[in-house]
Amino acid sequence: AREIAADGVTVNSAQPGTHWTDRVAKIVPDKETAASTVPARITGDPDDFGAAVAFLCSEQAKFITGTGLLIDGGQASGLLD
């Protein structure tokens, strides 16, 4: 990110938490169980993740670079407690 920022290029990552997808449904018995691990008590869906990525790719995010965006309903917030 630092090497190409002067060229107007941003480099970020988007990190999903528990998003309810067909793949997750094969592992977790139901959506409520999956949501119980998330402080927001809901699971994300692919559109939530896509909206965050679209934002990072937009002109509105032109000053955001070199960062990772957690899209996880607060799931990672207590990992170091």
- What average pLDDT does range 50-77 have in this prediction? 96
Is the pLDDT at 46 greater than 90, yes or no? yes
Q: What is the pTM of this model?
A: 0.82
**Nearest residue to 35 (alpha-carbon basis) of 24, 47, 46:** 24
* pLDDT score, position 64: 97
DSSP 8-class letter at 16: E
* pLDDT score, position 78: 73
Q: Are strands 12-16 and 67-71 parallel, antiparallel or unpaired?
A: parallel
Banded pLDDT at 80 (limits 50, 70, 90): low
Distances (CA, A) of 34 to 9, 15, 23, 30, 54: 36, 17, 12, 7, 25
Is the pLDDT at 52 greater than 80, yes or no? yes
